[in-house]
Amino acid sequence: MESKIHLLLIKLLTLHSLLVLSSSQDFDFFYLVLQWPGSQCDTKSSCCYPITGKPKLDFGIHGLWPNWKNGSYPSNCDSTNPFDAFEILDLMCQMESEWPTLSCPSNDGLKFWSHEWNKHGACSESILDQHEYFLTALNLKTEINLLGALEDAGMNPNGSAYSVTSIRGTIKEARGYTPWIECNRDVSGNSQLYQIYLCVDSSGSRFIECPVILAKKCSTSIKFPSF
């Protein structure tokens, strides 16, 4: 009798851990993170243009990052599936245009894209393979057209200052979703618009309102520098 109860307890415990495992997810949503090139290049650490030349006047992609609702995130999830440029050969022109690298020394961008896939992309490989991952980020960036939304509201990248509240409100009004803003400082120490974070559902197919607060430091009024 005692051993039967023992066996039943073991079965129940196994069932419980299986249920916990099957309900724990790889991640809950993505951040699409876009960077303003002017705010990378006018800093103390400066920037380098890619070998293909100065990027166009637009936000560039930094990354598409899987995240959990509690604010933490997975990283470097699968070393057996490293970045492979051959998988995205057909996307190269678009990558150079929409996902330019600004790190020094000047290079072709492969290092940046490889870092983003290995650190972040591989954590969503159960949903998006490499080609789908990069294509998803490119398509989301085009769809949200952040510079268009800001310029339509008269917020131009010419060194003017805008309140963080008005930038967030403008994007919400124009595109339907409220972004989070990250700032950095120019050489004179002015707080400026550096990165914009938007949230995307875990299938990568649509923007959503962000499920977590992302507190990044900005002054109340921030510079939108030229590039």
Residues 145-204 that bind ligand 5GP (CB under 6 A): none
Is residue 101 at the binding interface for ligand 5GP, with CB under 6 A as the rule? yes
**Residue 17: CB minimum distance to ligand 5GP, A:** 27
Tokens of 30: 């993505």
Told to check if 122 binds ligand 5GP by CB under 6 A, we report: no
**Residue 58 CB neighbours (<10 A):** 18
Catalytic residue among 6, 62, 87, 209: 62
- Distance separating alpha carbons of residues 222 and 130, to the nearest angstrom: 36
- Can residue 112 be called a binding residue for ligand 5GP (CB under 6 A)? yes
CA–CA distance, 106 with 52 (Å, rounded to integer)? 9
Does the footprint of ligand 5GP cover residue 115 (CB under 6 A)?
yes
CB of 137 to ligand 5GP, least distance (A): 13
Round to whole Å and give the CA distance between 61 and 101: 9
By CB under 6 A, which span of 7-15, 62-70, 136-144, 202-210 interacts with ligand 5GP? 62-70
CA distance linking residue 95 with residue 199, whole number of Å: 21
CA neighbor of 161 nearest in space, from 226, 91, 222: 222
Q: Which residues contact ligand 5GP by CB under 6 A?
A: 31, 35, 62-63, 65, 67, 73, 101-103, 112, 115, 119
Would you name the residues annotated as active-site residues?
Answer: 62, 116, 120
